[in-house]
Amino acid sequence: MKLNISKLDKYDPRTAEFSNYDKLHPLFDGVFTGEQGSSQSIESPKIMAELSNNSGRGIIETPSGNFLSEVTTGESTLLYFSIPLAPKWSNFVSTGLFPTLIYKSIDYLNSKKEGNANISTNSVSIPAKVSGSNKFEIVQPSGKSLFVDANKVGESYIIDIQDKSEFGNYFIYNNNKQLVAYYSVNHSDEESNLSSAPKEKFVSELTNIGADSEKIIFVDSDESINDSINRARLGTELWQLFLILALLCGLTELIVQKHSKKS
């Protein structure tokens, strides 16, 4: 894969901005409408320096070349950005365009090409031309192999995903031991729900295992944990002070009675 990268272009004291972009590129599906146009419809970062690429398909252009370009060789595709994620080069990472381009780039590069398997929740569809036959081997995350027969529908073989007992990656091989598809089984998102439980439910769960509800203290987000601990500690330590004061009062009363009897 060959890139035609120009020399380092520095824009000083002025910064460069986008001069044109290709709205028809699949990278912008669902983002922009219309045909190729000026950069007035797209947020441009302030570019201080860049190493632009002049090969491949230009997606976003600057006065010096391509800010974002697509270079394809065979079945490999590269999306080239002319700047790194460094503030000395641009403020690209602080623009609203940055997360959109990163997400769309990942989605575009991982999009299904012709001949690849189509995976849904309960089945895998594998093109007949890469299958070889209707017999497949599914290797589970533990390494155990399952041998299944697929049903042919049209020009594809359909494998039903029935066994999801193990979490991890499953690999599907055809009869020639070639990897033709893979899928993942993940934990339910309910098992990793990080939202806070109501205080009443939290207290109820703790009291069910023997905790004293009167000793459960909730700390607000803007409150110092040390202050809360000190207040709790103060409440448990004050009885010692009152005990000492009571003993001193009792001792004082005894001394006073003793002197009264002598007089």
Domain regions of the chain by residue span: 9-109, 118-185, 196-263
Helix (H) or strand (E) holding 103: helix 97-109
Instruction: Write out the two tokens for 85.
Output: 């994620």
Name the class of domain 118-185.
mainly beta
Instruction: Write out the two tokens for 155.
Output: 């020009």
Question: What is this structure's pTM?
Answer: 0.44
Whether the CB-CB separation of 77 and 109 falls below 8 Å is answered with: yes
DSSP string, 172-236: EE-TTS-EEEEEEE---GGGG--SPPPHHHHHHHHHHTT--GGG--PPPTTS-HHHHHHHHHHHH
DSSP string, 133-177: SSEEEEE-TTS-EEEEEPEEETTEEEEE-----S-EEEEEE-TTS
Residue 118 or 173, more confident:
173
Calculate mean pLDDT across residues 129-142.
87
Residue 34 has pLDDT above 60, yes or no: no
Whether the CB-CB separation of 197 and 218 falls below 8 Å is answered with: no
Calculate mean pLDDT across residues 216-224.
66
For residue 147, name the pLDDT band (cuts at 50, 70, 90). very high
Q: Residues 53-86: pLDDT tens digits?
A: 888 889 999 988 899 998 887 767 889 999 998 8
Residue 158 confidence (pLDDT): 86
Residue 97 CA to residue 122 CA, distance in Å, equals: 35
Calculate mean pLDDT across residues 228-256.
73
Residue 11 confidence (pLDDT): 84
Calculate mean pLDDT across residues 33-51.
69
Calculate mean pLDDT across residues 102-109.
82
Residue 118 has pLDDT above 70, yes or no: no
Residue 220 or 61, more confident:
61
Of 18-32, 66-80, 216-230, where does the model show the most confidence? 66-80
CB atoms < 10 A from the CB of 118, how many?
A: 13
Q: Residues 87-97: pLDDT tens digits?
A: 899 999 988 88
